[in-house]
Amino acid sequence: MNMAVTTHLREVRKSKGLTQKKVAEALLISKDSLSRYERGKQDPRLDVAIRLSKYYNVSMESRV
């Protein structure tokens, strides 16, 4: 995954005052998975990327 995207995931979450646990629970993914996405260790599946985009209310196109 593009490093700008992974950094953006973490920045958006923190700017909204959200914890990894809260986001993971809302998206029905593990906290460990979210952590791997944010660190660029794993790419989210397309359905998860879409849910992240909707949850954070950000466009996927602006970061791809």
Instruction: Determine the average pLDDT of the residues in 32-45.
Output: 94
24 with 48: CB under 8 angstroms? no
Q: Render pLDDT for 44-56 as a digit per residue (tens, 0 to 9).
A: 999 999 999 999 9
One-letter amino acid of 36 = R
For residue 1, the model assigns a pLDDT of 54
**For 7-26, what is the mean pLDDT?**
94
Alpha helices in 1-64 (DSSP H): 3-15, 20-27, 31-39, 46-56
**Residue-number span of the structural domain to which 33 is assigned:** 3-63
Q: Percentage of the chain with pLDDT > 70?
A: 83
Residue 6: pLDDT above 90? Answer: no
CATH of the domain at 36: 1.10.260.40
**pLDDT(18) > 70:** yes
Number of domains in the chain: 1
